């Protein structure tokens, strides 16, 4: 995959003061963000631009009898009212989802979830469009909805997808993994078995910026340009071209600055297609930007798994088998944003950090009258659900055996010398050292002292109970390899294109798309490290399909594992050519030219004073190129990773549970993460803080709920509770470094780890406070009323 190079050594100080690996370089992008010069979709204004407002169904399940747009059309600034009939003329009434289902762009026959797209009003300004949308009259024949997956699978449930020929019920698919018989045998023979039901509630990714697009059809060039909020511009261009029939080279997708993605901006939404269709028909630019409630109510949601976990173990806590059964609510369409061969995402990594011989998982997915989705919100394609399951079950087992949960973990960890390790469900873990991370976290958290304090409080019948929760999670991020992972058939590689200019600075173009992760800084650091350039001399460009090399986008924490590898390899290719130019400049043989990572310079072997910098080499490449070489200094790499990367960590959470009110307070929050070699520790810290906040939101506050009529009851930020600074404790972070053996710079992804790893640690802490009274589980979000109820059911309330 790349020229032989051991890469940066994590033991040594990296970066060498030029802003390479390991340096806390300030974020290059922040200057424009904090001075109000960001360039978001809603900032784009084009001459003659029209505005699109979507008319949405107030009902969750209803047949459309009639749509009358005449009163809207009669308004002054309204230019057009579009319905499914108009889109049908252009074959755009439906679009494929990422899981090969077909979703209505505008509803043709039957509404399948509340706020589904029914019609669109195009007007000269946003206000007129909104007023017009209110004047569109839609006659509905309201049907009974079903919002719960279990209800949806009952025989007399309303049929969500009656337009599908073979669909007689709401069942979408069954999926399983592992070895059922072997697992059953282990359960039959086990000393101890435990079982727990747990729900991973439906969540909303909640980026600051909602989804939107400015579509601009140019009839002179036959070209469609769409500025849109996209985590995957190239993949979206291919899909746009396939759906619209406009040849791919005549479609340009631009993702300017994106105000947060969190998985929300991986799917294609009807609004994008409507804006593009309207621009095509009206031959004017059309802008569509969602409002907050539209985003909360209709955008790709996260989770919604009802799980039953089981563990079979010996009396001294050795785990022999794990089994899990899942009921998944996929909403009205099968539209989870994940590699197409993985209908349950990467959920089958549910054996976690443990060496377990037998495992079996089964899952049933159902249609309901709710918005589609399932994969979003820092989930690593449902590793969140898998980690929650196993880390909760280990705690349940520890309680059953009356053992310390950290002892159970230690007994079962995959040993650090067992890597590469193949799990019972077929994952190939690249590297890990779980005990080291756990030791570090326990030490940072004063674990033993808190255990003492916990005992004291129980003995003294204290008003506030203490709970200590641990999670030792393993992540899997960095999809491909392309043969295993694809989006709509396109293999999941990624790319980087590095061009050095005659004056010695460079432009790196990448196929991934940052939404706040700081790629403009960290990717420049990779090049600085691998080429000896100064980080300020490298500009990173992304998000324009006309200029960037094809890439699959940013999600599943794949940017560093895949595009980061591509950037390193492209830089090394440039370095190879640089050697030839250096030889020419220094009048030496190419074999005698060595590159020194420390100084970043090229010199003649055995003569360190005969050296030359990359800036001088750049000049040589353009002004005095060697006869045997092409002029210029650039390289491109398309990187198909041989394997995914397996970051991990140990989190320790200490909580106080108020026996009178059920309120939970964080006393201590320790997070030790291992993402292999670290590019920018400050950016990593930021990723961890944000992810932990989202983990706290998950465990304590957030849930998308529906009433029996299918109304979204948490459709705004008054009801859908995001954590604020008030709810967030002081985090103590630490790290260990276990490099990925197959990644050119030894890095693993980190963006999702904290959201994946923290919810079980928090729930483990809250249950731990009450486990002496027999509490084995509290469902998320652990609101005070829920916790109080649990306290009172177990005689702990006062």
Q: For ligand MCN, which stretch binds (CB under 6 A), given 73-81, 220-228, 511-519, 533-541? A: 511-519
List C-alpha distances in Å: 688 to 305, 346, 527, 675, 682.
24, 21, 24, 11, 10
- Let me know if 752 is a catalytic residue: yes
Please state the closest distance from residue 532 (CB atom) to ligand CUM, in A.
Answer: 33
Task: Indicate if 14 belongs to the active site.
Answer: no
Phi, psi of 247, deg, nearest 5: -55, 145
Q: Which of 450, 555, 595, 646 binds ligand CUM (CB under 6 A)?
A: 555
537 close to 504: Cβ distance less than 8 angstroms: yes
Q: Does 373 bind ligand CUM (CB under 6 A)?
A: no
User: Is 378 tagged catalytic?
Assistant: yes
Strands 486-487 and 490-491: antiparallel
List strand residue ranges (DSSP E) for 442-505, in order: 464-474, 486-487, 490-491, 494-500
Choose the stretch contacting ligand MCN; rule: CB under 6 A; options: 486-494, 579-587, 610-618, 674-682: 674-682
Measured from the CB atom, the residue of 37 and 455 that comes closer to ligand MCN is: 37
Of 379, 644, 654, 700, the one binding ligand CUM by CB under 6 A: 379
Binding residues with ligand CUM: total (CB under 6 A)? 13
Length of the chain: 798
- 555 near ligand MCN, rule: CB under 6 A: yes
Nearer to ligand CUM, 270 or 749 (CB): 749
Q: Does 669 bind ligand CUM (CB under 6 A)?
A: no
For ligand MCN, the binding residue among 83, 255, 370, 517 (CB under 6 A) is 517
3-state secondary structure of 657: strand
Between 266 and 278, CB nearer to ligand CUM? 266
Separation CA 546–CA 617 (nearest Å): 29
Interacting partner of 560 out of ligand CUM, ligand MCN, none (Cβ under 5 to 8 A depending on kind): ligand MCN
Residues with Cβ within 8 Å of residue 27, at least 6 apart in sequence: 518, 520, 521, 683
User: Catalytic pick from 548, 601, 667, 752?
Assistant: 752
Partner from ligand MCN, ligand CUM, none contacting 637, C-beta within 5 to 8 A by type? none
Which 185-244 residues touch ligand CUM, going by CB under 6 A? 231
Q: Which is nearer to ligand MCN, 365 or 562 (CB)?
A: 562
Query: Which H or E run includes 73?
Result: helix 70-73
> Which residue has the CB atom at the shortest distance from ligand CUM?
263
The dihedral region occupied by 520, where left means phi > 0, alpha psi between -120 and 50, and beta the remainder, is alpha
Q: 513: which 2 tokens?
A: 């798309």
User: Can you tell me which of 378, 603, 659, 668 binds ligand MCN, judged by CB under 6 A?
Assistant: 378
- 560 Cβ contact partners less than 8 Å away, ≥ 6 residues apart: 478, 522, 675, 679, 747, 748, 749, 750
**Per CB under 6 A, does 261 bind ligand MCN?**
yes
Among 263, 339, 432, 697, binds ligand CUM (CB under 6 A): 263
DSSP state of 25: P
CA dist., res. 113 & res. 111, Å (int): 6
**Judged by CB under 6 A, which of 309, 432, 480, 556 binds ligand CUM?**
556
Candidate residues 359, 476, 675, 763; the one interacting with ligand MCN per rule CB under 6 A: 675
Work out what residue 683 binds among ligand MCN, ligand CUM, none; the CB cut-off runs from 5 to 8 Å by kind.
ligand MCN
- Out of 177, 210, 348, 687, the only residue in the binding site for ligand MCN (CB under 6 A) is 687
Instruction: Determine if 756 is a binding residue for ligand CUM (CB under 6 A).
Output: no
Q: How far apart are CA 329 and CA 148, in angstroms?
A: 7
Closer by beta carbon to ligand MCN, 26 or else 179 = 26
CB of 515: closest distance to ligand CUM in angstroms?
8
Near ligand MCN by CB under 6 A: residue from 57, 495, 554, 733: 554
Q: How far is the CB of 418 from ligand MCN (least distance, A)?
A: 23
Single out the segment in contact with ligand MCN by CB under 6 A; choices: 42-50, 446-454, 555-563, 707-715. Answer: 555-563
* DSSP-derived 3-state class of residue 441: helix
Separation CA 738–CA 740 (nearest Å):
7
Which DSSP string do the residues of 747-769 spell out, in sequence order? Answer: B---TTHHHHHHHHHHHHHHHHH
CB 650, CB 434: distance < 8 Å: yes
**Residue with smaller CB distance to ligand CUM, 215 or 365:** 365
Q: Which residues pair with 495 in a beta bridge?
A: 638
Nearer residue to ligand CUM within complex by CB, 216 or 702: 702
Alpha carbon distances (Å) from 274 to 94, 597, 780: 11, 52, 37
Q: How far is CA 522 from the centre of its chain?
A: 18
456 catalytic residue (yes or no): no
- Cβ contact 507:539 at 8 Å: yes
User: What phi and psi values does residue 166 have, to the nearest 5 degrees?
Assistant: -90, 10
Q: Does 261 bind ligand CUM (CB under 6 A)?
A: yes
Annotated active-site residue in 52, 211, 379, 675: 379
- Give the interface segment with ligand MCN, choosing from 615-623, 706-714, 750-758, 786-794 (CB under 6 A): 750-758
Question: Least separation, in Å, of the C-beta of 266 and ligand CUM?
Answer: 6
Residue 375 · residue 302 · CB < 8 Å: yes
477 lies in the site for ligand CUM, by CB under 6 A? no
Which are the catalytic amino acids? 231, 378-379, 752
Residues that bind ligand MCN (CB under 6 A): 207, 260-263, 378, 515-519, 522, 554-560, 675-680, 683-684, 687, 690, 747-752
């Amino acid at each position: 995959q790349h020229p032989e190079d051991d890469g940066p050594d994590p033991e040594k100080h990296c970066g060498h003061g030029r802003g390479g690996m390991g340096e806390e370089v300030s974020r290059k992008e922040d200057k424009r963000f904090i001075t109000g010069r960001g360039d978001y979709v809603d900032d784009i204004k084009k001459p003659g631009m029209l505005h699109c407002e979507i008319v949405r169904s107030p009902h969750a399940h209803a047949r459309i009898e009639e749509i009358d747009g005449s009163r809207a059309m009669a308004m002054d600034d309204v230019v057009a009212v579009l319905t499914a009939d108009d889109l049908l003329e252009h074959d755009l009434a439906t679009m494929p989802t990422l899981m090969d289902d077909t979703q209505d762009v505008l509803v043709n026959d039957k509404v399948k979830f509340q706020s589904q797209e029914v019609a669109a009003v195009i007007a000269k300004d946003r206000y007129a469009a909104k007023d017009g949308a209110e004047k569109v009259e839609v006659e509905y024949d309201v049907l009974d909805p079903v919002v719960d997956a279990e209800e949806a699978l009952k025989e007399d449930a309303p049929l969500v997808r009656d337009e599908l020929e073979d669909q007689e019920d709401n069942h979408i698919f069954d999926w399983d993994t592992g070895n059922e018989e072997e697992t059953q045998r282990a359960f039959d023979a086990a000393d101890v078995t435990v079982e727990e039901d747990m729900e991973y509630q439906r969540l909303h990714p909640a980026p600051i910026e909602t989804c939107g697009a400015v579509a601009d059809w140019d009839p002179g060039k036959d070209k469609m340009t769409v500025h849109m909020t996209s985590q995957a511009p190239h993949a979206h261009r291919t899909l746009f071209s396939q759906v619209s029939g406009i040849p791919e080279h005549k479609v340009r997708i631009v993702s300017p600055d994106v105000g947060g993605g969190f998985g929300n901006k991986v799917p294609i939404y009807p609004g994008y297609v409507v804006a593009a269709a309207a621009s095509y028909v009206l031959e004017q630019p059309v802008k569509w930007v969602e409002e907050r409630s539209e985003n909360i109510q209709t955008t790709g949601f996260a989770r919604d798994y009802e799980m039953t976990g089981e563990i079979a173990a010996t009396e001294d806590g050795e785990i022999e088998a794990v089994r899990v059964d899942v009921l998944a609510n996929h909403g009205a369409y099968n539209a989870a944003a994940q590699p197409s061969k993985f209908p349950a995402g990467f959920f089958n990594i549910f054996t976690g950090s443990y060496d377990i011989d037998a495992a079996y998982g089964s899952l049933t997915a159902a249609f309901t009258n709710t918005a589609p989705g399932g994969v979003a919100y820092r989930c690593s394609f449902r590793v969140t659900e898998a980690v929650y399951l196993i880390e909760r079950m280990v705690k349940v087992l520890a309680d059953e055996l009356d053992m310390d949960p950290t002892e159970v973990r230690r007994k079962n960890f995959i040993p650090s010398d067992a890597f590469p390790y193949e799990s019972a469900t077929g994952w190939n873990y690249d590297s890990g050292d779980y005990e080291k991370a756990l030791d570090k976290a326990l030490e940072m958290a004063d674990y033993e002292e808190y255990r003492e304090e916990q005992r004291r409080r129980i003995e003294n019948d204290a008003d506030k109970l203490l709970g200590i929760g641990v999670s030792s999670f393993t992540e899997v991020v960095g999809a491909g390899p392309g043969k295993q992972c694809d989006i709509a058939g396109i293999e999941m590689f990624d790319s980087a294109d590095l061009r050095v200019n005659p004056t010695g600075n460079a432009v790196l173009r990448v196929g991934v798309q940052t939404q706040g992760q700081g790629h403009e800084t960290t990717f420049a650091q990779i090049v600085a490290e691998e080429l000896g350039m100064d980080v300020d001399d490298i500009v990173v460009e992304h998000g324009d399909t006309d200029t960037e090399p094809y890439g699959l986008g940013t999600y599943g924490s794949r940017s560093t594992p895949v595009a980061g590898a591509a950037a390193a390899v492209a830089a090394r290719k440039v370095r190879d050519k640089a050697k030839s130019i250096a030889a020419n400049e220094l009048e030496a043989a190419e074999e005698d030219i060595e590159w020194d990572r420390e100084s970043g310079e090229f010199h003649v072997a055995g003569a360190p004073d005969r050296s030359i910098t990359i800036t001088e080499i750049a000049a040589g490449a353009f002004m005095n190129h060697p006869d045997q070489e092409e002029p210029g200094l650039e390289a491109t790499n398309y990187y198909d990773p041989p394997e995914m990367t397996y970051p991990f960590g140990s989190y320790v959470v200490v909580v106080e549970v108020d026996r009178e009110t059920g309120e939970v307070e964080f006393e201590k929050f320790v997070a030790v993460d291992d993402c292999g070699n670290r590019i920018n520790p400050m950016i990593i810290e930021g990723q961890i803080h944000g992810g932990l906040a989202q983990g706290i939101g998950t465990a304590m506050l957030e849930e998308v709920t529906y009433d029996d009529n299918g109304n979204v009851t948490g459709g705004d930020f008054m009801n859908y509770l995001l954590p604020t600074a008030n709810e967030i404790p002081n985090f103590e972070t630490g790290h260990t470094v276990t490099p990925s053996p197959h990644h050119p710079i030894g890095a693993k992804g980190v963006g999702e780890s904290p959201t994946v790893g923290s919810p079980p640690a928090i729930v483990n802490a809250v249950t731990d406070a009450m486990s002496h009274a027999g509490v084995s589980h509290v469902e998320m979000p652990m609101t005070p009323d829920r916790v109080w109820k649990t306290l009172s059911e177990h005689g702990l309330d006062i």
